[in-house]
Amino acid sequence: MRYDIIWMIIGMGMVTYIPRMLPLAVFHRVKLPPFLQGVLKNVPYAILGALIVPGIFLLDEDPWFGVLGFVSAVVVAWFGANIIIVVLASVLVLSAYAVL
């Protein structure tokens, strides 16, 4: 094991943990103003949108790969399928596409 690599990993671990922990510690038992509470309640839905797009369309050089994965996940999820089913269905569709 090389010490420079170990120290780099420990440093990466620290700067990853601090932003994850700090808000929970600082806002522990703190009631935020209503507007800010509303903004934070919006964050999960907004961040999901940003996590999906544009990432899914840049998965492969072939743009149809992402489009196909996107559409199949949306369709299966629309009919109320369990998340695992949504995941497996889109993987299956793309496997079939890769074979064809």
Partner 1 sequence: MDTALTARTLSSFRQGVQAGMSIAIGYMPIALTFGLLAKTTGLTLWETVMMSVIVFAGASQYIALNLLTLGTGGFEIVLTTFILNIRHFLMAAALNEKAEQESLWKKALYAFGITDETFSVAAMKPGKVNASYMLGLIFVSYGSWVISSGVGHVVGERLPKSLQESMSVALYAMFIGLLVPTLKKQRKVIWLACLAAAFHSILLLGLHMSKGWAIVISTLLASVLVQSFAKESEESDDAL
Which residues within the stretch 9-38 sit at the binding site for partner 1 (CB under 8 A)? 9-13, 15-17, 19-25, 27-29, 32, 35, 37-38
- State the nearest-atom distance from the C-beta of 67 to partner 1, in Å: 11
From the list 33, 63, 69, 100, which residue makes contact with partner 1 (rule: CB under 8 A)?
69
**How far is Cα 56 from Cα 68, in angstroms, rounded to an integer?**
10
Give the burial string for 34-43 (b: 16+ CB within 10 Å, else e): eeeeeeeeee
Burial class (CB in 10 A: 0-12, 13-18, 19+), 70: middle
By C-beta, is 12 or 63 nearer to partner 1? Answer: 12
**How far is Cα 90 from Cα 70, in angstroms, rounded to an integer?**
8
**Residue numbers 72-91 binding partner 1 by CB under 8 A:** 72-74, 76-78, 80-84, 86-91
Tokens representing 94 are 């793309």
Q: Is 46 in the site for partner 1 (CB under 8 A)?
A: yes
| Count of residues of this chain found to bind partner 1 when the rule CB under 8 A is applied | 75
- State the nearest-atom distance from the C-beta of 100 to partner 1, in Å: 11
